[in-house]
């Protein structure tokens, strides 16, 4: 996809399986929104092949669109309609909508059903956005940075909503800046930087984290000790065995491995702030 002279994404190749939560990560300007908009049929690509639910989004018709739910970065709520009214209005656009009360429950807005959208908190508005995307009972949902600006507890509550979508068998295409979000929710993760895919895998095996050196920290005799090891069990066994023999404690003993965020920062470091 090019915007004039700017090649926003090039040669990217990805596949999303039915029923999975797929996380698409990348720094600002990496090309996430461009890619998602192409998949949603909002943006016409300059080249390449795309198939979503078996059709080319650029040519797909109404029936295809009814199978897709979209939560954009900025919401589209009518501030003066209540939660129930907003969902009711949307339900009217679809041939077989999900029951409104069920959607309210699914997004955790039971206590706010009669509240106007403008009186909801940011997190609650976002949930209503998701409810709107769900009302047509789509097979596939696009969530573009759904928890940006949330406080930690609102973010966790929202994760429950997304986990609920997975339980319903929906396919979720999620873009996010939050590694922990990808770690918690995604079956598979793909990282894009400066328009190209730089890594893909499950959150666990991305960047081969399982096989990278672990770091052991502890305090002994008043000093900090830090050891890197690729044979963690053996090293720990020796360390703790010797400490027990000496009758000493290994204060503050802790084992750490590179986090998904460490891997992400390393992989995207060279891309700069792709302005
Ligand atoms: P963010 O995390 O900031 O939302 P993103 O990964 O979604 O970023 P995109 O919005 O896809 O990134 O942008 C990718 C590149 O394409 C950027 O360099 C951006 O400046 C450029 N770009 C995006 N939209 C347009 C447009 N309508 N016209 C021209 N250039 C654009």
Residue 238 CB contacts under 8 Å (≥ 6 apart), including other chains: none
The answer to whether residue 122 sits within a structural domain is: yes
Parent domain of 242: 213-256
* Nearest CA owner, ligand 1 atom 9: 31
Is 148:142 a contact under the CB 8 Å cutoff?
Answer: no
126-137 average pLDDT score = 90
Do 156 and 227 lie in a common domain? no
Other C-beta atoms lying within 10 Å of the C-beta of residue 236: 17
Residue 210, token pair as written in the block: 């399982």
Distance 30 CA to ligand 1 centre (A): 7
Q: Is the CB of 28 under 6 A from ligand 1?
A: yes
pLDDT of residue 155: 85
Higher pLDDT, residue 269 or 117: 117
Q: Is the CB of 203 under 6 A from ligand 1?
A: no
The answer to whether residue 39 sits within a structural domain is: yes
Write the pLDDT tens digit of every residue in 92-123: 988 889 999 999 998 889 999 999 999 998 88
Write the pLDDT tens digit of every residue in 165-186: 888 899 999 998 888 899 889 9
Q: Is the CB of 33 under 6 A from ligand 1?
A: yes
The answer to whether residue 208 sits within a structural domain is: no
Distance 42 CA to ligand 1 centre (A): 14
Distance 81 CA to ligand 1 centre (A): 32
Do 108 and 239 lie in a common domain? no
Do 219 and 113 lie in a common domain? no
What is the C-alpha radius of gyration for the chain, rounded to an integer number of angstroms? 23
Is 138:71 a contact under the CB 8 Å cutoff?
Answer: no
Q: Is the CB of 3 under 6 A from ligand 1?
A: yes
The answer to whether residue 265 sits within a structural domain is: no
Residue 80, token pair as written in the block: 């003066």
Note if the pTM is more than 0.85: no
Do 127 and 240 lie in a common domain? no
Which of 2, 5, 6, 9 most suits a substitution to test ligand 1, by most atoms within 8 Å of the C-beta? 6
The answer to whether residue 275 sits within a structural domain is: no
* Nearest CA owner, ligand 1 atom 2: 28
pLDDT of residue 72: 78
The answer to whether residue 274 sits within a structural domain is: no
Is 40:70 a contact under the CB 8 Å cutoff?
Answer: yes
Q: Is the CB of 29 under 6 A from ligand 1?
A: yes
Write the pLDDT tens digit of every residue in 1-37: 999 988 999 999 999 999 999 999 998 889 999 999 9
Q: Which atom of ligand 1 is the closest one to the Cα of 275?
A: 18
Question: Which has the closest alpha carbon to 24: 128, 16, 213?
Answer: 16
Distance 177 CA to ligand 1 centre (A): 15
The answer to whether residue 263 sits within a structural domain is: no
Q: Which atom of ligand 1 is the closest one to the Cα of 35?
A: 11
Q: Quick one: pLDDT band at residue 274, thresholds 50, 70, 90?
A: very low
Do 131 and 29 lie in a common domain? yes
Residue 19 CB contacts under 8 Å (≥ 6 apart), including other chains: 166, 169, 170, 171
pLDDT of residue 145: 87
The answer to whether residue 52 sits within a structural domain is: yes
* Nearest CA owner, ligand 1 atom 27: 3
């Amino acid at each position: 996809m090019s915007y004039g002279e700017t090649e926003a994404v090039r040669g990217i190749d990805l596949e999303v399986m039915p029923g999975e939560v797929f996380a698409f990560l990348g720094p600002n300007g990496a090309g996430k929104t461009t890619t998602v908009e192409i998949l949603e049929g909002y943006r016409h690509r300059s080249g390449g092949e795309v198939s979503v639910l078996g059709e080319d989004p650029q040519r797909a018709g109404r029936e295809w669109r009814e199978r897709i739910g979209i939560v954009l970065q900025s919401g589209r709520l009518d501030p003066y309609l209540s939660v129930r009214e907003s969902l009711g209005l949307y339900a009217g656009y679809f041939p077989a909508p999900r029951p409104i009360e069920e959607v309210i429950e699914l997004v955790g807005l039971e206590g706010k059903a009669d509240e106007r959208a403008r009186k909801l908190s940011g997190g609650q508005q976002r949930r209503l956005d998701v409810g709107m995307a769900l009302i047509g009972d789509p097979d596939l949902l696009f969530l573009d940075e759904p928890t940006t600006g949330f406080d930690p507890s609102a973010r966790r509550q929202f994760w429950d909503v997304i986990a609920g979508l997975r339980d319903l068998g929906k396919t979720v295409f999620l873009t996010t800046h939050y590694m922990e979000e990808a770690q918690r929710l995604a079956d598979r993760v793909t990282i894009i930087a400066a328009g190209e895919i730089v890594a893909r895998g499950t959150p666990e095996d991305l960047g081969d984290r399982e096989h990278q050196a672990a770091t052991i920290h502890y305090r002994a005799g008043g000093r900090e000790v830090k050891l890197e090891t690729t044979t963690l069990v053996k090293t720990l066994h020796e360390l703790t065995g010797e400490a027990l023999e000496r009758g000493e404690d290994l204060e503050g003993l802790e084992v750490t491995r590179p986090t998904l965020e460490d891997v992400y920062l390393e992989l995207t470091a060279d891309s700069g702030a792709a302005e």
